[in-house]
Structures are given as structure tokens and as C-alpha cells.
């Protein structure tokens, strides 16, 4: 059967001197040699193509016969007619060939772009293995309960209007998230302030577009989250690295360097990548600076649910009486990364501005997953899953720390193990990027600490995620890591 074949773009001109069958033949041949049609791809039946083109079947039969005779088409039993599998690969125009012909274009683009041309895509980002950042214990996810929510949403799909949803997102989900944030994170918010986004990157992009102008100066943590920086750089912001110490962002340093910056991007509850918590005095100083200078604080609260020594730290937004904080959260590290759903809490007087921008960007978020997640939260599955994962990740964190101490001894320093789903290991006498490359060849997925720095003087270290590594497999993974460090 060939009913599932996609009809290619074929232009026929009845006024042209070339007969119709030759025009059809030429269009197919050019599409095949140009790489638009690939070996093994099905082609439509002669009858369906004739109907699509509005011509009789005879010129299509003649064109197909010629293409078959010349070896461009191939008849396969049970599959109908396909593009020949025996055509030599060198006859096809590949992406690499096109790129090779235009070597100067990427260089010209790089000169005018604020982000790296490759988004710094090193070998450890091309695979997922032990210690991958952002990976979760997917085998522990309550699939049965989630599937029930999926089935319910599917049954109710047409019981509600299928028009565009509100640009902020589904009301039911926003109410559930607002209730959770008020209780668990001490965030001051109502459902009308919640905007559903595709993740923290999306939230940062929207915030920059609404609040900042090209050339706006923004404090960023040094070291800090690279992809958050890229989102700001994409909006032509001027990034000013401000060092972090054991108390978090050095607000005094930032004030001395650039007191009139327009914004600050911070991870106060669990700094990425070093893992410290911003002290109370630093939080208050940061809020005072924002109020005095009219600046905005972008609070990325990416994994604060997982704190192993004491209660979770309250949000920075909950301390702010002046509504200068844009609070950003993600569900990827709680549920599963492919969900690609996060949220932001917008100051009440700015909501309409954010809505206007959102409508211009993409009208609003997709609704189906939102309905599923709303039911998942309202029935208590979300909070139960967080509690279970907090215990599980503590076990995995303990196993990682114990094995690093066992195999490395005092040759490394572990920091940031009090919370989150990663730790940072400082190393001496080796290049962390070289270690990461060797580890990738051994099936490990690490991040080099030095890659999180903008300026000089980067510390050498390894950022290790432990969310996806069972405790009973941690020793084997750490042994591989030790071998990679030893070279």
C-alpha cells in the first residue's frame, strides 16, 4: 500500500512545450539527486499522484516507467514503489557538502552573534551516561498514576473548547502550582501571576524581552549556569560576571563594579554549579540593591525541592516587598526532562506586559500536558513523588560521596552536597576538560567546572549528577571516573 506516501512538490505546466510525463520525470529526478527524496522513501501511487496534479493517469504511468527503468525507482514486495536503495550515496547532496561550500557564512554569523555558534556542545553533551546533569530516576516515576491522568485527559479532550488557551496557561494548572509554591516555597503569588513556559530557558528569554533592552547590563554568577547566560546574550544583554563565595553572589562586588545594572540572574537556594545557599544577609542586600536601582532579579529555583540537611530554603521572591523578583521554576528535574514544562511568577503589575509578549511569540502554551499535570498535582501524586525522590536522591548522594572519598581520598574536595541533584568535585593538577573527554569515551557524562566561567582564573573541577545512578551502581561508576582522572 502506498496511501501513506507523501506527495512531493511537482510543478506541471500545461502550456510548456515539454510533455507532462517529462515534467514529472524531471521533478522526481531532481528531487532524488538533490537529496529531497531519500533511498527507501515511499512514493505515491500513480492514481493518487494523478489526482493530486489534476492530470490523467497516463503521463504519470509513463514517468514512473522511465524512472523505474533508469533505476531511480524500485518495486518492493509489500511496500509498493520506493526510491531505489541501490543509488550511490555520493550522488546525493548532503548537509556536510552544503556546509563545505559556504565556509564563510558561519564565521560571518559568529562575528555578529552573542552566543557561541555551537552553544558549546562538547562530547559529554552528546550522550547520556552516569553523572549526567539533569537526569532523573526515571524508573521510579509513578507511571501508572500518570497514565491514568493521560487517559482521563484523552477522554475529556473534546468535552472542553478546543480553541486557543489563555496565554498564561491552563487555569487549573496555574492554581495548582500557585498553591504548591505558596506552601512549599513561601512564594507570594496567585494563579493570575503564573505563566506556564517550556522551561527555565524559555522563562529567561521572555523576561529579557519584556524587561531588558539590547545592551542592558546584567549581573551573572561566576561560575554560573551557561545556558541561562546564553538566553540573556541572545537578547543582546551585556553580561557582567560577579563572583560567588560560600555565601553566594558577592553583592558588594557587583555594586562596586556596576551599581546601575538592569538585572541579576541568581540561583540563591542552590547555586549552580558550586551548590552553596545564599546567606540571609546577601539576600537582603540583593533585594535592597534592586529596590534602590530599579533593577530586576531573575531567581532560577531549579532544584530546591531536594534538600538533604534541614528544611528547604524559602524563596528569595518571598522576602521581596517591592516585587522586583521574577521567580522561575522547572518541573523537568522533579518529573522527567522530556516534559519540557516550567513556570514563572510575574509581579502583578507586569502580567499584561508579559501576556502581550507571549501572544507575539507563540500565542500560548500547549494544553494537553497541562491538563494531565494539573490532575497529577491535585490528586497528590506530585507531592508524594517529591517526598519519595528526596529520600532516594539522598541515598544516591550519600553513595556518591562515600565512593569518591573511598577512591580519591584527600586528593579532591567535594562541595555542594547539601542539596540538589549534583555535586561539585574540585581537582588539582589535571585539566577538567581533558578528564571529561576521557570520561565520555568510558561512557560517563560529566560537565567541566571550568566551562561555567566567563573570565580568567577558572577553577578545575567536575560537576557530577547523581539522579539517574542507582546507589548499588555508584561504586562502579566512580571507579571509571577515577580511571579517567588518572589518565
pLDDT in tens, 290-300: 999 999 999 99
Check whether residue 365 and residue 447 sit in a common domain: no
Check whether residue 212 and residue 327 sit in a common domain: yes
**How confident is the model at residue 85, as a pLDDT?**
84
Tell me if 418 is assigned to some domain.
yes
Most confident of the ranges 83-87, 120-124, 129-133, 307-311: 129-133
Check whether residue 356 and residue 427 sit in a common domain: no
Residue 190 banded pLDDT, cuts 50, 70, 90 = very high
- Final residue in a domain of this structure, among 333, 353, 383: 383
Helices (H), 74-157: 95-101, 103-112, 143-155
Check whether residue 372 and residue 411 sit in a common domain: no
pLDDT in tens, 220-265: 999 999 999 999 999 999 999 999 999 999 999 999 999 999 999 9
**How confident is the model at residue 124, as a pLDDT?**
41
Residue 78 has pLDDT above 80, yes or no: no
The domain that contains 66 carries what CATH number?
1.10.10.10
Check whether residue 456 and residue 369 sit in a common domain: no
The answer for residues whose C-beta is within 8 angstroms of residue 127's C-beta and 6 or more apart is: 440, 443, 445
The dihedral over CA atoms of 290, 293, 296, 298, expressed in degrees to the nearest 10, equals -50
Smallest CA-to-CA distance from 284 within 327, 314, 329 is with: 314
Element (H, E) at 391: helix 381-408
**How confident is the model at residue 95, as a pLDDT?**
44
List 447's β-bridge partners, or say none. Answer: 463
- Give the pLDDT mean for 178-184: 92
Q: What integer best gives the mean pLDDT of the chain?
A: 88
Residue 484 has pLDDT above 70, yes or no: yes
**How confident is the model at residue 104, as a pLDDT?**
59
Looking at the structure of the chain, the number of domains it has is: 3
Residue with cell 493530486: 52
Tell me if 10 is assigned to some domain.
no
**How confident is the model at residue 373, as a pLDDT?**
94
- Give the pLDDT mean for 199-227: 96
The domain that contains 411 carries what CATH number?
3.90.1150.10
Check whether residue 258 and residue 331 sit in a common domain: yes
The domain that contains 356 carries what CATH number?
3.40.640.10
**How confident is the model at residue 263, as a pLDDT?**
98
Check whether residue 379 and residue 394 sit in a common domain: no
Tell me if 59 is assigned to some domain.
yes
Check whether residue 237 and residue 330 sit in a common domain: yes
**How confident is the model at residue 2, as a pLDDT?**
55
Check whether residue 203 and residue 321 sit in a common domain: yes
**How confident is the model at residue 160, as a pLDDT?**
62
The answer for residues whose C-beta is within 8 angstroms of residue 291's C-beta and 6 or more apart is: 322, 324
Residue 159 banded pLDDT, cuts 50, 70, 90 = low
Does the pTM surpass 0.85? The reply is: no
Output 135 or 102, whichever has higher pLDDT.
135
Check whether residue 158 and residue 198 sit in a common domain: yes
- Final residue in a domain of this structure, among 355, 383, 411: 383
pLDDT in tens, 379-420: 999 999 999 999 999 999 999 999 999 999 999 999 999 889
Tell me if 102 is assigned to some domain.
no
Check whether residue 202 and residue 300 sit in a common domain: yes
Tell me if 110 is assigned to some domain.
no
- List the domain range (segments joined by +) for residue 451: 123-135+388-486
Buried b / exposed e over 213-251, threshold 16 CB at 10 Å, is eeebbbbbbbbbbbebbbbbbbbebbbbbbebeebbbbb
pLDDT in tens, 452-480: 999 888 999 999 999 999 999 999 999 99
**How confident is the model at residue 332, as a pLDDT?**
83
Tell me if 85 is assigned to some domain.
yes
- Final residue in a domain of this structure, among 358, 383, 408: 383
Q: Is the peptide bond before 273 cis (omega within 30 degrees of 0)?
A: yes
Question: 82-91, 330-339, 415-424: which has the minimum mean pLDDT?
Answer: 82-91
Tell me if 368 is assigned to some domain.
yes
Check whether residue 305 and residue 439 sit in a common domain: no
Assess contact for 42 and 4: CB atoms under 8 A: yes
Amino acid at each position: 500500500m502506498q496511501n501513506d506516501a507523501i506527495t512531493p512538490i511537482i510543478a506541471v505546466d500545461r502550456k510548456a512545450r515539454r510533455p507532462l510525463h517529462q515534467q514529472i520525470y524531471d521533478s522526481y529526478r531532481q528531487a532524488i539527486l538533490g537529496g529531497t527524496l531519500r533511498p527507501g522513501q515511499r512514493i505515491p501511487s500513480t492514481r493518487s499522484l494523478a489526482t493530486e496534479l489534476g492530470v490523467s493517469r497516463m503521463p504519470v504511468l509513463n514517468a514512473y516507467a522511465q524512472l523505474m527503468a533508469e533505476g531511480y525507482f524500485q518495486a518492493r514486495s509489500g511496500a509498493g514503489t520506493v526510491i531505489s536503495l541501490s543509488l550511490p550515496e555520493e550522488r546525493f547532496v548532503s548537509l556536510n557538502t552544503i556546509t563545505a561550500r559556504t565556509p564563510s557564512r558561519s564565521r560571518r554569523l559568529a562575528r555578529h552573534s552573542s552566543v557561541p555558534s555551537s552553544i558549546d556542545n562538547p562530547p559529554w553533551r552528546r550522550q547520556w551516561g552516569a553523572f549526567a546533569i539533569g537526569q532523573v530516576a526515571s524508573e521510579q516515576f509513578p507511571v501508572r498514576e500518570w497514565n491514568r491522568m493521560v487517559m482521563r485527559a484523552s477522554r475529556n479532550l473534546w468535552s472542553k473548547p478546543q480553541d486557543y488557551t489563555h496565554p498564561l496557561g491552563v487555569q487549573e494548572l496555574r492554581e495548582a502550582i500557585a498553591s504548591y509554591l505558596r506552601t512549599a516555597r513561601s512564594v507570594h503569588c496567585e494563579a493570575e501571576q503564573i505563566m506556564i513556559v517550556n522551561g527555565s530557558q524559555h522563562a529567561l528569554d521572555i523576561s529579557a524581552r519584556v524587561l531588558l533592552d539590547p545592551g542592558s547590563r546584567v549581573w551573572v554568577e561566576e561560575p554560573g549556569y551557561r545556558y541561562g547566560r546564553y538566553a540573556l546574550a541572545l537578547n543582546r544583554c551585556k553580561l557582567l560576571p560577579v563572583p560567588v563565595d560560600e555565601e553566594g553572589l558577592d553583592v558588594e562586588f557587583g555594586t562596586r563594579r556596576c551599581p546601575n545594572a538592569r538585572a541579576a540572574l541568581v540561583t540563591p537556594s542552590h547555586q549552580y554549579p558550586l551548590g552553596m545557599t545564599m546567606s540571609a544577609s546577601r539576600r537582603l542586600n540583593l533585594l535592597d540593591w534592586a529596590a534602590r536601582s530599579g533593577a530586576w532579579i531573575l531567581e532560577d529555583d531549579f532544584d530546591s525541592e531536594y534538600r538533604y540537611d534541614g528544611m528547604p530554603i524559602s524563596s528569595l521572591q518571598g522576602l521581596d516587598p517591592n516585587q522586583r523578583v521574577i521567580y522561575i521554576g522547572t518541573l523537568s528535574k522533579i518529573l522527567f526532562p522530556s516534559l519540557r514544562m516550567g513556570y514563572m511568577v510575574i509581579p502583578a503589575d507586569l502580567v499584561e506586559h508579559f501576556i502581550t509578549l507571549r501572544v507575539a511569540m507563540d500565542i500560548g502554551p500547549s494544553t494537553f500536558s497541562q491538563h494531565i499535570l494539573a490532575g497529577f498535582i491535585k490528586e497528590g501524586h506530585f507531592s508524594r513523588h517529591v517526598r519519595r525522590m528526596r529520600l532516594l536522591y539522598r541515598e544516591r548522594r550519600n553513595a556518591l560521596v562515600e565512593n569518591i572519598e573511598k577512591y580519591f581520598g584527600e586528593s579532591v574536595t567535594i562541595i555542594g552536597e547539601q542539596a540538589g541533584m549534583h555535586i561539585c568535585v574540585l581537582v588539582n593538577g589535571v585539566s577538567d576538560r581533558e578528564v571529561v573527554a576521557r570520561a565520555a569515551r568510558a561512557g560517563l557524562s560529566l560537565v567541566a567546572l571550568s566551562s561555567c566561567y566567563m573570565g580568567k582564573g577558572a577553577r578545575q573541577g567536575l560537576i557530577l549528577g547523581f539522579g539517574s545512578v542507582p546507589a548499588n551502581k555508584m561504586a562502579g561508576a566512580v571507579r571509571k571516573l577515577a580511571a579517567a582522572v588518572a589518565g
